Amino acid sequence: MKTLAVLAFLLIVYSASTVWFALAAQAPPDLLSQADSVFHQMSELTGLPIKSSLQKQMVSRPEVSKYIAETLHSEMTPQDIHIQEASLQAFGLVPPDFNLEKFLISFYTEQAAGFYDPFNKTMFIADWVEPDTQRLVLAHELTHALQDQSYDLEKFLKADHEDDDAEAARLAVVEGHATAAMIQEMIEPMKLEAMSSLEPLMAPIIQQQLEEFPAFTKAPFFFRFQALFPYIEGIGFMQQGLQAGGWKKLNSLFDDPPQTTKEIFQPDVYFQKQPLPKISLPQPAALAAVHGLSFLTENSMGEMGYHALLGQLISEDEAKSVTPSWLADRYLLYEESDAGPGKKQYVLVSQTRWSSAESAQAFFRNYHTILAHKYTELAPDPRSTDDTFIGKSNKGEVILLHRGDQCIWAEGIPAAQTDAMVKWLDERQ
How high is the pLDDT of residue 7? 44
What does pLDDT average to over the chain?
88
How high is the pLDDT of residue 1? 64
Residues of the chain with CATH 3.40.1000: 285-426
Across 50-59, 68-77, 407-416, the highest mean pLDDT is recorded for: 407-416
- Give the 3-state secondary structure of 350-369: EEEEECCHHHHHHHHHHHHH
Mean pLDDT of 49-63: 88
How high is the pLDDT of residue 9? 40
80 phi-psi bin (left φ>0, alpha ψ -120 to 50, beta other): alpha
How far is Cα 62 from Cα 41, in angstroms, rounded to an integer? 31
Percent of the chain scoring above 90 in pLDDT = 65
pLDDT band at 131 (very low <50, low <70, confident <90, very high): low
Number of H helices, E strands in the chain: 19, 10
Q: Is 215 exposed, middle or buried (0-12, 13-18, 19+ CB in 10 A)?
A: middle
Alpha helix (H) ranges present in 110-159? 131-151, 153-157
Contact 230, 321 (CB under 8 A): no
pLDDT band at 29 (very low <50, low <70, confident <90, very high): very low
How much is the pTM?
A: 0.91
Length of the chain: 429
Residue 162 pLDDT more than 50?
yes
Class of CATH domain 285-426: alpha beta
How high is the pLDDT of residue 426? 94
How high is the pLDDT of residue 4? 45
pLDDT band at 17 (very low <50, low <70, confident <90, very high): very low
Contact 91, 331 (CB under 8 A): no
For residue 401, list its beta bridge partners: 388, 408
H/E run at residue 409? strand 406-413
Mean pLDDT of 282-289: 94
Alpha helix (H) ranges present in 20-99? 31-46, 61-75, 78-90
How far is Cα 283 from Cα 278, in angstroms, rounded to an integer? 16
Mean pLDDT of 110-116: 73
Mean pLDDT of 346-373: 97
- What amino acid is encoded at 324 in this protein? P
196 DSSP 8-state letter: P
Residue 208 pLDDT more than 60?
yes
Radius of gyration of the chain (CA): 23
C-alpha pair distances (Å), 22 with each of 17, 28, 42: 9, 13, 17
| Residue-wise burial string across 160-192, b where 16 or more C-beta atoms lie within 10 A, e elsewhere | beebbbbbbbbbbbbbbbbbbbbbbbbeeeeeb
Higher pLDDT pick, 137 / 165: 165
How high is the pLDDT of residue 18? 35
pLDDT tens readout for residues 138-151? 899 999 999 999 99
How far is Cα 259 from Cα 237, in angstroms, rounded to an integer? 13
H/E run at residue 402? strand 396-403
Contact 131, 148 (CB under 8 A): no
How many C-beta neighbours within 10 Å does residue 55 have?
Answer: 14
φ and ψ of 263, to 5 deg: -70, -25
219 DSSP 8-state letter: S
How high is the pLDDT of residue 113? 67
Least confident of 122-136, 252-266, 323-337: 122-136
Contact 1, 299 (CB under 8 A): yes
How far is Cα 202 from Cα 378, in angstroms, rounded to an integer? 41
pLDDT tens readout for residues 340-357? 556 789 999 999 999 999
How many C-beta neighbours within 10 Å does residue 385 have?
Answer: 11
